[in-house]
Structure 1
Amino acid sequence: MRRWIMHVDMDAFFASVEQFDNPDLMGLPVIVGGQSDRGVVSTCSYEARVYGVHSAMPMMEARRLCPQAVFLPGRMKRYQEVSREIMTIFDSFSPLVEQLSVDEAFLDISGMELLAGSERDIGFKVKRSIKEKTGLTASVGIAPNKFLAKLASDMQKPDGLVVIRAEEAEVMLKPMSVRRIFGIGRSAEKSLLQFGIETIGQIADADLGILRKALGNNAALVKQLAHGLDDRPVVNDYAAKSIGKECTFEQDLHTEDERRHAVLDLCGRVGWRLRRSGVVGYTVTLKVKFASFKIITRSITAEGPVAYDEEIFALAQKLMQSVKWSEGVRLLGVSVAHLEPANAVPVLNFSEDERLGKRNQAVDILKAKFGEDIIKRGF
């Protein structure tokens, strides 16, 4: 039986929900995120992307690039409601659904073509079901593995459907930039360029020894991906789990420094738990309980897996910028969800990841020997 993995990614999810709920926003640049100048963009419509706006961009920069946009604070409960409808649709097409975030998932549809038509037919049916149920569009990628499926879903956005077959994968990958491989960022790209490697095809053809000089321990895995190979399974047992830590304070926190120190400590504790459990995660959630007992949560999904304290804190800081700190804080919590076994992740952040790894490993050794409270990180 041929293996088929589908990756479904909703198009500009938060902004699309806002446009669907308010038709007056259709065709307008819509930017969803923290409204203060220190806030960040959560999602923006494709009309806003024309002006260079993108997710995780500082809101101040987004306002400069597209001052005529409609700026909205976001409605997480509404987005989660729509997300549940979408995930229910996925469950009707496959027993193996790996949810990555509120708007993104892998489905293993191997063998389903015997019941529902070709793999392309199934893709169209999923897209049509989402459109009929929610009024929204999704981009779908279908391929023999996760790497290619995720790559395919991004090739014809928005509202795309791309199927990559095993026999055509390597030829298709050959001219693509190395940045199209999951986990290759600017640092890794720069290292590869020192050896004249710019394309995925050049990675596939490169000597493994050269790749090790540029990419370290990830070289063999990257070379495998460059050939279009990836044997990670779709796993739905980790998707619902999370690892987190929260703290109720004896006295309410009122200053930015107090909150940052508290969140930094929580990120260190969560990172320690992730690494001790041998998992990585994709979605970081910040929980805040104010002095009035009002509770809010904010979440952000990373492009790649996180497990190190610094990575978690960087995302938590972005979430903190989206919170209106109008009163004292009684409780703070940090959690990481959409977990995956660390050894199932093909690529991390290469040289920078190795530096983070060594620092975190040193901290982990101390914590394992003397307990979790033996060391705290500073800014």
Structure 2
Amino acid sequence: MLSDLPIRKIIHVDMDAFYASVEQMDHPELKGKPLAVGGSSKRGVVSAASYEARKFGVRSAMSGVKARRLCPDLIFVRPRFDRYHEISKKIRHIFHDYTDLVEPLSLDEAYLDVTQNKKGNPSATLIAKDIRARIFEEVGLTASAGISINKFIAKVASDYNKPNGQKTVTPEEVLQFLEDLDIRKFYGVGKVTAEKMYQLGIFTGKDLKSKSLEYLDSHFGKSGRYYYHVVRGIHNSAVTSNRIRKSLAAERTFSENLSSEVFMLEKLEHIAQEVSKRLTKSKVAGKTITLKIKYSDFTLQTRSKTLPYFISDKSIILETAKKLLYQETLQNSVRLLGISLSNLNTEKQHKPKDTKTVSVQLQFAF
């Protein structure tokens, strides 16, 4: 029952086309023009696209060649991650003026729990409006926000009035909002899952809600329970300011496709070195090594091995990755290799504090 859930005032702040907007801010001559942050070469990938470029269908993770084909006047700029980190840090300082419960998801988005906040403001809607105004005044960028009773609904809502807008879904509006929602808008429902849902006659939240837990479990496995609960407004994950890293990885895209494992060993050594360096810097170690292989036809394959002990040493990472590479024959020539380490020794060090449960009151200030 929704009325039995812990009620929180959650804001999800999402910067508008962050990387591209930073570039347009720093280079005024690029404002109003279709812009892609990333590479335009045969192997290049779009990291971010301005709203002017998105009108042509340009999206992040798209190949630079395809992006150029969709938008011949597209301007490519190289990413400047140091600058994006610098701007992100300024934005987070603003967040912390309102609450210490800030959970960053990436450089350009974060959850804020303002149930109890430093301003003593009972309205999460007004807090979100104030935060967005300060980001614009102090940083020079626009942001969008979603406000609701939990993280799931707040994240969905933040995409509702983009760019430079916000949407509040109050407790009494939650169930109707979710029932009316296109299934593609549900956070966690990707393109493949959406197509599967369409085939099952599930097009909206209302359609999803009509399915039993057993039905969703049988068709979607472990994810079925998640879909069953979120469409009913049930998502108890608390905002935590000390998110625990669950994996660490490095990967390389090659200028030419590689067709033999022998040619890949040198590449794997560099990747293993980078992973080891990042582990050492983060002061973590892990047990599960995963080799990621992306073929020239863009199909993706992963191979994993879990060791009985935690490791961060390059030589062990490399040796295990080599064994995974030779584990079975390659399906095609390879355009990308990656190594990740998961099952880290950080995962059981922290547990979020319990949140007191209170009943939903329709007059709850939002």
**What TM-score results when the alignment is normalised by the length of structure 2?**
0.71
1:125 equivalent to 2:130? Answer: yes
1:175-186 correspondence runs (5 A): 175-186=180-191
Q: Which has the larger radius of gyration?
A: 2
**Higher deviation after alignment, 80-89 or 367-376:** 367-376
> What fraction of aligned residue pairs are identical, expressed as a percent?
35
Equivalent residue number for residue 62 of structure 1: 67
Q: 1:34 to 1:104 in 2, by over 3 A?
A: same
Q: Relative to 1, partners in 2 of residues 1:55 and 1:3: Cα closer, same or farther, differing over 3 Å? A: same
**Paired residue for 1:229, among 225, 229, 234?**
234
**In 1, Cα distance between the equivalents of 2:19 and 2:222?**
37
Answer yes or no: is the 8 Å Cα contact 2:135–2:143 preserved in 1.
yes
Q: What pairs with 1:1-379 in structure 2 (closer than 5 Å)?
A: 2-112=7-117, 115-238=120-243, 241=245, 243-244=247-248, 257-258=263-264, 260-262=267-269, 309=290, 360=304, 363-364=305-306, 367-368=307-308, 375-378=323-326, 379=330
Give structure 2 stretches of 5+ with no counterpart: 1-5, 280-284, 296-300, 311-315, 331-366
The change in CA–CA distance for 1:246 and 1:49 in structure 2 (over 3 A counts) is: closer
Partner Cα distance (1:43, 1:49) in 2: 10
Let me know the Cα RMSD of the aligned residues: 3.6
Higher helix share: 1
Q: For each residue in 1:25-62, what CA deviation from the matched residue of structure 2 results, as whole angstroms up to 9, or x when unmatched?
A: 11111111124221111111101100000111100111
Q: What residue identity is the alignment partner of 1:368?
A: P
Distance 2:75 2:250 in 1: 35
C-alpha change, 1:265 and 1:18, in structure 2 (3 Å) is closer
Alignment coverage as a number of residue pairs: 296
Question: Cα gap change, 1:200/1:313 in structure 2, threshold over 3 Å: closer, same or farther?
Answer: farther
Q: Alignment partner of 1:235: what SS?
A: coil
Question: Which runs of 5 or more structure 1 residues have no equivalent in the other structure?
Answer: 248-253, 279-306, 318-354
Q: Write the deviation string for residues 71-112 of structure 1: whole angstroms up to 9, x where unpaired.
A: 111211111111110111111111111111111111111133
TM-score by length of structure 1 reads 0.69
Q: Which amino acid aligns with 1:49?
A: R
Equivalence for 1:344 = none
